[in-house]
């Protein structure tokens, strides 16, 4: 696959200046994060009709010029960009101000979180290039096959963008796509909320309230320590150790060493003292679980999750919208428990659902089923 390879600073800067004048460009990244906390950008793929396919080697380059491109009016066309945005934030400190994610857009025309391969085949009848998904993208030189595989990720994105825009325009859903893409663009990336890290711990909801405070403080310390050393959080302190320490809330090194999941490197020296300091701080925390899990709902409201979930799934099926894009289980719980900031109360989701869910929750409507029409919402008499 014909492409240009850029690893010269002057060529890169000139490319960025030209791209800023383009109406749009396709973009993808290759990266690694197995051995680091922050993802490391290993390759940047770009494409426009005038520039063709360009592979940028970021390793020898100053990438700060990307901020100029991202601040320009040019539209970045990407696919499944959540991790790419994380990578770019840490590589150059910015993300595109204008973003179109083809995976998100496809969710509004009947696809369910499609891969790029399936979307290209379904819409353009293009069979994507095969390659080794476990390539070490940091190794140089890359082989011709590796370069071709990387270039293929952006080769057809602009054509795919044209097709999806036409389809969503015809359905009157282009504003919905824009809202979803902006939601993705502004989503927090890694390293932005250490104090929320405890919510990602498996089984943390089973801890007693006081132990949750310790777990919160420990997880925040671990997150900041991992960022400081740029290593995976599990190498600082495994999840099992956080839960074990939280349950015992040790105040001495001896007590710490007997907690489940704690090995010698955690129970001596600076590590031990920092862990004990986090435990002490955690004992003072009053921590509420706001995870929007069904178990956190009042028992009388729990049956509503199943009811509302059934109707939301039916609406998604009828409207040919990806159900996972419309509402997660957490979204449903947030709505049912009356959270004013619930995603289903605003934007395109509220427009699609209307007041139907509220009618269900207020007892003014019910669901019935027939073999021909599936689930139906029916008004209930007073």
Domain stop point among 230, 257, 283: 283
The predicted pLDDT at position 358 comes to: 86
pLDDT of residue 292: 46
Number of compact structural domains in the chain = 3
370, part of any domain: yes
263/302 same-domain check: no
State the pLDDT at residue 39: 94
Residue 329 forms part of a structural domain: yes
Residue 136 makes CB contacts below 8 A (sequence gap 6+) with 32
- pLDDT for 288 equals 62
Claim to verify: residue 169 and residue 30 sit in the same structural domain: yes
Which of the listed residues 258, 283, 308 is the one where a domain comes to its end?
Answer: 283
| 108 and 201 both lie in a single domain | no
State the pTM of this model. 0.88
Asked if 43 and 30 touch (Cβ cutoff 8 Å), the reply is yes
Residues 127 and 36 in one domain: yes
**CATH number for the domain harbouring residue 172:** 3.30.420.10
Examine the domain organization and report whether 169 and 205 are in the same domain: no
Whether residue 289 is contained in a domain is answered as no
Question: What is the CATH classification number for the domain harbouring 275?
Answer: 1.10.150.80
Domain that holds residue 239: 194-283
Q: Per the structure block, which two tokens stand in for 331? A: 């979204």
Beta carbons within 10 angstroms of residue 341's beta carbon: 7
Instruction: Decide if 353 is inside a domain.
Output: yes
Q: Are residues 274 and 340 in the same domain?
A: no
Tens-binned pLDDT, residue by residue, of the chain (382 aa): 799 999 999 999 999 999 999 999 999 999 998 899 999 999 999 999 999 999 999 999 999 999 999 999 999 999 999 999 999 999 999 999 999 999 999 999 999 999 999 999 999 999 877 666 678 999 999 999 999 999 999 999 999 999 999 999 999 999 999 999 999 999 988 777 899 999 989 888 889 888 999 999 999 999 999 999 999 999 999 999 999 999 999 999 999 999 999 999 898 899 999 999 999 999 998 666 555 455 567 787 888 888 889 999 999 999 999 999 999 988 998 888 888 899 999 999 999 988 888 888 888 999 998 888 789 989 887 5
Residue 288 lies inside a defined structural domain of this protein: no
Question: 308 and 268 in one domain?
Answer: no
Instruction: Say yes or no: 178 and 218 in one domain.
Output: no
Tokens, residue 143:
């082989």
């Amino acid at each position: 696959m014909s492409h240009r390879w850029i690893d010269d600073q002057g060529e890169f800067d000139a490319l960025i200046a030209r791209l800023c004048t383009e109406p749009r460009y396709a973009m993808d990244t290759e990266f690694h994060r197995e051995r680091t906390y922050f993802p490391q950008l290993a390759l940047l793929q770009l494409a426009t009709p005038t520039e063709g396919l360009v592979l940028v080697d970021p390793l020898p380059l100053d990438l700060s010029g990307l901020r100029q491109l991202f601040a320009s009016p040019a539209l970045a066309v990407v696919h499944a960009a959540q991790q790419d945005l994380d990578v770019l934030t840490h590589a150059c400190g910015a993300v595109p101000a204008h973003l179109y994610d083809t995976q998100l857009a496809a969710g509004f025309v009947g696809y369910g979180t499609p891969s790029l391969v399936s979307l290209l085949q379904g819409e353009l009848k293009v069979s994507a290039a095969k390659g080794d998904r476990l390539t070490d993208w940091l190794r140089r030189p890359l082989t011709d096959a590796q370069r071709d595989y990387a270039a293929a990720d952006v080769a057809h994105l602009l054509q795919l963008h044209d097709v999806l825009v036409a389809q969503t325009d015809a359905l009157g859903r282009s504003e919905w796509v824009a809202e979803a893409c902006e939601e993705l663009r502004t989503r927090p990336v890694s390293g932005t909320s250490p104090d929320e890290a405890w919510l990602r711990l498996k089984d943390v909801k089973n801890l007693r309230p006081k132990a949750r405070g310790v777990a919160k403080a420990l997880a925040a310390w671990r997150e900041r320590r991992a960022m400081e050393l740029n290593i995976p959080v599990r190498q600082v302190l495994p999840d099992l150790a956080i839960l074990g320490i939280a349950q015992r809330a040790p105040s001495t090194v001896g007590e710490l060493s007997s907690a489940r999941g704690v090995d010698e490197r955690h129970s001596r020296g600076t590590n031990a003292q920092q862990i004990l300091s986090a435990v002490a701080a955690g004992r003072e925390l009053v921590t509420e679980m706001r995870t929007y899990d069904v178990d956190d709902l009042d028992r009388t409201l729990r049956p509503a999750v199943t009811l509302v979930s059934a109707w939301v799934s039916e609406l998604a099926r009828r409207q040919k919208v990806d159900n996972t894009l419309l509402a997660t289980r957490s979204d449903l719980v947030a709505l049912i428990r009356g959270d004013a900031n619930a995603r289903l109360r605003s934007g395109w989701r509220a427009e699609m659902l209307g007041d139907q869910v509220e009618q269900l929750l207020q007892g003014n409507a019910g669901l019935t089923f027939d073999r021909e029409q599936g689930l139906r919402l029916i008004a209930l008499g007073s």
